[in-house]
Amino acid sequence: MALDFAFTPEQEAFREEIRAFLSKELPPDHWKLQSDREQAPAGQAEFTRSFVKKLADQGWLTMHWPKEYGGRGASVMEQVIYNEETGYAAAPVGIGSQMAVTMAGPTIMSWGSEELKTEHLPAISRGEALWCQGFSETNAGSDLASLETRAVRDGDDYVVNGQKIWTSGAHTADWCMLLVRTDPQARKHKGITYLLMDMRAPGVEVKPIISMMDAHGFNEVWMEDVRIPVRNRVGDENEGWYVATTTLDFERSGITRVAWSRRVLEEIVGWVRSNGAVANKAVTRNALTDLWIAVEVSRLLSYRVGWMQSQGQVPNAEASMVKVFGSELACAITNVGTNLLGLGGGLLRGSTGTPPLYGALPLGYMGTTTYAIAAGTSEIQRNIIAQRGLGLPRS
């Protein structure tokens, strides 16, 4: 079956509608403010929540969801267009809302009981619920199935004890997608259960992790005798690994990062054209051309995932291809940009004057370093591609 990435006139009109909305609702200097934390306006969290609510009011936040769950049954490719445009504009959709819409909601739809669907999906579709992902642990990152957080059945509850780490947005989240071990005697992939944890439950403690960018996005989450109702289980007991892989596939298949990378590359190219003072123009031209081609490849790989979903297929290795290629491309773009702009553009931030690209690259360079680690390392993605995509044996 041929892959057709041509957009219909209706889809192109929808793209223009989103662009007009973003132009109206975002400040003229929004891209600059997103790149310069010290000049970001006060009340950014409130602005993000308000903006997400506007997206929900437009019917865009969960437009790809079925109508019975608060969506409008839009096509997958319409969702791809929406993600691409909001990513390009660095729209403040918020990590908690993103996880709710793209990970928690679809996973609950795929595996959850009708009770869980009724409880959680409407709140997500209205932009009212923020979620986080309680997967990784100190000794269970890439080897996620080695997790040790324990849940013991006690009547109608699970009693949970343990710790999660690198939990993005846990300090603002209402709910957590939580992986726990319910059968310590089973093989490690077989004794895991997937629970939904109320972040306000007694015994839940969130401790911030401050990054080298002086940013608070990551957290540790400690659980001491936290009681989670059995009805909050997604899928069967001890079968949570299969539910988790569904969540991870949703996490890895987006085009938002690709669109952001394209925007950064365009900013770098614009600076080179207006500045002209680069050490070796031929080398610079070739490096930027290679990156431009790679951005187009990354975009088409993302379109392929969307196309597969539109055909009722479930991308797996294909989602990992998008993840590893897009993550490493973002690193390459900020690396080339930092070297091109030199010390002034690579070290200074916006509050120190008027550095090239308003100080965007220092944060971008440090931030993209995590892309090859978060949501599954590049090594893990390559293993998935080799085994599930190419059919190669495990070594």
- Whether 86 and 129 have beta carbons less than 8 Å apart is answered as no
Which amino acid, residue 259? Answer: A
> Which residue in the block uniquely carries the two structure tokens 């500045």?
275
Residue 386, CB-side half-sphere exposure with 13 Å CA sphere:
10
Neighbours of 365 (CB within 10 A): 20
Q: What helix, strand, coil percent values describe the chain, rounded to 5?
A: 55, 15, 30
Angle ∠(203,209,214) on CA atoms, nearest 5: 150
> Which residue in the block uniquely carries the two structure tokens 């080298």?
212
Angle ∠(365,51,8) on CA atoms, nearest 5: 85
Length of the chain: 395
DSSP 33-83: HHH-GGGSPTTHHHHHHHHHHHHHHHT-TTTTS-GGGT-----HHHHHHHH
The pairing of strands 131-134 and 175-181 is: parallel
- What CA–CA distance (Å, rounded) separates 100 from 105? 6
Q: Which of 78, 137, 239, 251 is catalytic?
A: 251
User: Would residue 251 show up in a list of annotated catalytic residues for this protein?
Assistant: yes
Three-state secondary structure call for residue 124: helix
Three-state secondary structure call for residue 237: coil
List residues bridging with 228 in a β-sheet: 158
- What CA–CA distance (Å, rounded) separates 222 from 270? 46
Catalytic residues: 251
